[in-house]
Chain A
């Protein structure tokens, strides 16, 4: 199938315009993060470019601490989600027991309860457990995940049943089979789910806002809000420097895993 040249050109023009429009806010923020505040206020083109804003952001705010906290929180949540989802998916595919269908229905039902609607008791639970300003409070409530379980379940279903039968003849127990066969086979799905989990936990906003009251475990998203809040002087260069730092890890992750994410999310979503 050949595409006529004129249509090719038209497509390229449309693609470039769209890309420019969509990426414009990021490009502007990126340029501003290197600009002098005077240039930003007068709206002139950058006269000088420097890393001053980045240095200032790290000096005035415990950004490094926030970044570290976000990394810990995102990694712990991702790990927790992978462990719980893969275990649950295994039970739904390879184990047969009474009440399985009911439990599966229960997992589906969890998707109908938005976290925002149950945030008040959740906050009180975390407070009563003494988990405010603790990593535990920021991570544990998000370990169980219906979406992840369904995604992995789809993947496990493609593992031939003969494989399990053969392993049974060899006397391999369920847990060993899970570790030695199922997990390695589903590596791609695990990576996809992990990337997705990391992305969403790194970007969490409402819960970290509620469950942190000081800098000890505060994540970088809330740090950015503070950076923006406390800067009444409109130090836009510094605020943008902070914002750019916040989005770099997830953008890199997205650029690396875009194809896999797209495939994984579509599979989990549609089938």
Chain B
């Protein structure tokens, strides 16, 4: 008996372990199925309208296509080689980067100025906050129509103002020197609402204790702005800057309504260039190659945002 007892026990142990393992496995399978059930709708749609199209775009970029978008001839990297050699595409890239340079810093600086103003505890400040954020609710089509009038060569508000000061009328949207700036101005105006709203949120989440102790030390307004507000706001600022850059690279609507890429392709920003190449010229191969360039730019920006953003938040 004393000999068999331990073996029996170990046998029992083994059986229960097997059962336990099986149950655990079953449980795991069940919880996996349940998790998938909750996630499946999103996964299916992401697959169909995001991941599959992305790989299809990469695939298409190595081919020539017919007008239906079916691949005809495999050309390897030729689309990319042609694209980078094309003066139209070079102009498009140049305009896109200039556009980012014109819009992003200006948007963030003006929005920050507005947010600092609107963060004061004054009577009726709610109304100003609403007005400052209002452009967020204005669609790109409506905003472009408003500015189309502002830029109108003869009846537009801007040229009327110039007339009062005796300055010659400017062809805001038809002069290659001005068109990109005009589109940039429209874009800055459109983006102010969103940027302002996020920055105001960032300002409001700064601990008021910091200001109170600075007040006790007799710190000046600008000292507090420089030493407390800006550093504490840096994660929000960083987020806003990357989002504005990404948005700038995706600009389309205002180009379509204001300039259609002209004059002399100076406002042919990358998304508009893709749109024209694909849906006006039916060159889906080259349009796909351009899409991949856009994708890589956005990818780098997003990764940068995650990597650096994380560090900044931890720092705080």
Q: B186-209 interface mask toward A, CB cutoff 8 Å, 1 = contact, 0 = none?
A: 000100110001101110010000
Cβ B42 vs Cβ A84 within 8 A: yes
Is A90's CB under 8 angstroms from B284's CB?
no
Do A26 and B134 form a contact, CB below 8 Å, given A91-B35, A141-B49? yes
With A87-B39, A236-B149, A265-B198 already in contact, 6 other A-B pairs whose C-beta atoms are closer than 8 Å: A18-B132, A19-B131, A28-B157, A115-B50, A206-B252, A261-B197
Q: How many residues of A contact B (CB 8 A)?
A: 93
Q: Is the CB of B34 within 8 A of A174?
A: yes
Contact among B49, B202, B215, B257 for A270, CB-based, below 8 A: B202
- B13 CB to closest chain A CB, in angstroms? 27
Contact among A40, A120, A125 for B287, CB-based, below 8 A: A120
CB of A221 within 8 A of CB of B139, answer: yes
A203 touches B140 (CB 8 A): yes
CA distance A100 to B33 in the complex (A): 11
The 8 closest A-B pairs by CB, nearest first: A266-B201, A118-B53, A254-B137, A121-B53, A203-B139, A91-B38, A121-B56, A144-B45
Which A residues are in CB contact (< 8 Å) with B219? Answer: none
Interface window among B84-92, B114-122, B174-182? B114-122
Count of residues in B whose CB is under 8 Å from the partner chain? 99
**Residue in A1, A118, A250 whose beta carbon sits within 8 Å of that of B54 in the complex:** A118
Instruction: Check B150 for interface membership: any CB of A closer than 8 A.
Output: yes
**Chain A 86-121 near chain B by CB (<8 Å), digits 1 or 0:** 011011000111111001001110111111111111
Residues of A contacting B138 in the complex (Cβ-Cβ under 8 angstroms)? 26, 203, 247, 250-251
Determine which of B239, B291, B306 lies in contact with A269 in the assembled complex, contact meaning CB atoms within 8 Å: B239
Interface of A is mostly: helix
Contact B41–A112 (Cβ < 8 Å): no
Interface residues of B in 227-272 (CB under 8 A from A): 235-236, 239, 243, 246, 249-250, 252-253, 256-257, 271
Chain B positions 258 through 294: 1 when the CB is less than 8 Å from some CB of chain A, otherwise 0: 0000000000000100110011000010011001101
Q: Is the CB of B43 within 8 A of A103?
A: yes
When the two chains form the complex, which single residue of A15, A203, A225 contacts B256, counting CB atoms closer than 8 Å? Answer: A225
Give B contacts to A, CB under 8 Å. 28, 31-32, 34-36, 38-39, 41-43, 45-46, 48-54, 56-57, 60, 69, 113-114, 117-118, 120-122, 125, 128-143, 145-150, 155, 157, 160, 189, 192-193, 197-198, 200-202, 205, 211-212, 215, 221, 235-236, 239, 243, 246, 249-250, 252-253, 256-257, 271, 274-275, 278-279, 284, 287-288, 291-292, 294-295, 298-299, 302-303, 306, 313
Q: In the docked arrangement, what's the CA distance between A161 and B198, Å?
A: 31
- Measured CA separation A222–B292 after assembly (Å): 27
CB–CB A258/B41 < 8 A? no
